[in-house]
Amino acid sequence: MLHIQTFIRYLKFEKRYSIHTQKAYEVDLVQYNDYLASEFDSTAHQATDVMIRSWMMFMIGSSCSKRSLNRKLSSLRQFYKYAVRNGLMESNPMLRVISMKTDKKIPSFVSEKEMTHLLEDINYSNDYEGGRNKAILQMFYYTGMRLSELIALRVDDIDFSLNQVKVLGKRSKERIIPLLTTHLQDLRQYLDMREAHFSTSKKHLFLTASGNVLYPKLVYRFVNSYLSRVTNLSQRSPHVLRHAFATHMLNDGADLNAVKEILGHVSLSSTQIYTHSSAEQLKRVYKQAHPRGDL
Instruction: Please provide the size of the chain in residues.
Output: 295
Could you list the active site residues? 146, 170, 239, 242, 265, 274
Q: Domains (ranges, CATH) in the chain?
A: 2-96 (1.10.150.130), 112-283 (1.10.443.10)
Phi and psi torsions of 267, nearest 5° = -110, 140
Each residue's pLDDT expressed in tens, for the chain with a length of 295 residues = 778 999 999 999 998 888 889 999 999 999 999 999 999 999 998 999 999 999 999 999 999 999 899 999 999 999 999 999 999 999 999 999 999 887 666 678 899 999 999 999 999 999 999 999 999 999 999 999 999 999 999 999 999 999 999 999 987 899 999 999 999 999 999 999 999 998 777 899 999 999 999 999 999 999 999 999 999 999 899 999 999 999 999 988 899 999 999 999 988 888 888 876 555 566 666 777 777 766 6
**Which pLDDT score, from 0 to 100, does residue 202 have?**
86
DSSP string, the chain: -HHHHHHHHHHHHTS---HHHHHHHHHHHHHHHHHHHHHHS--GGG--HHHHHHHHHHHHHTT--HHHHHHHHHHHHHHHHHHHHTTS-SS-GGGG--PPP-PPPPPP---HHHHHHHHHTS---SSHHHHHHHHHHHHHHHH---HHHHHH-BGGGEETTTTEEEEE-GGG-EEEEE--HHHHHHHHHHHHHHHHH-SS---BSSB-TTSPBP-HHHHHHHHHHHHTTT---S--SHHHHHHHHHHHHHHTT--HHHHHHHHT-SSHHHHHGGGPPPHHHHHHHHHHHSTTTT-
- Decide if 78 contacts 90 (C-beta within 8 A): no
pTM of the model: 0.71
Report d(CA 237, CA 223) in Å as an integer. 6
Burial-class residue 2 by CB neighbours within 10 Å (0-12, 13-18, 19+).
exposed
